[in-house]
Amino acid sequence: MILKTHHDIHIDNTIIEICNECGKSVRFGTGLYVNRVVDLNDIVTKIEMGKPFPSGGYICINCDNKLHKECLRK
């Protein structure tokens, strides 16, 4: 499941099981569950950071690897 909008924000601050970078589901059974990384920032902080899917409570392993590679290049 990929959400179609980057403004998928839950008013009650519910953390949903998607990657806040790419929007892919990281629920059990997706293949991304085991290696997902919890993002402990609140939704407001994620919006300020420019996260495309700020209601997502996790970062999938694929996006985490991309972010680490970007950091290493700097």
Q: What is the pLDDT of residues 9-67, one digit of tens each?
A: 444 556 689 999 999 999 999 999 999 999 999 999 999 999 999 999 999 999 999 99
* CB-count exposure of residue 73 (10 Å: 0-12, 13-18, 19+): exposed
Which residue type does 50 have?
G
* pLDDT of residue 68 exceeding 50: yes
Paired with 38 in beta bridges are 58
| Cβ count within 10 A of residue 21 | 19
Residues 66 and 71: their CA atoms lie apart, in Å, by 9
pTM of the model: 0.77
* pLDDT of residue 7 exceeding 80: no
Give residue 16's pLDDT. Answer: 86
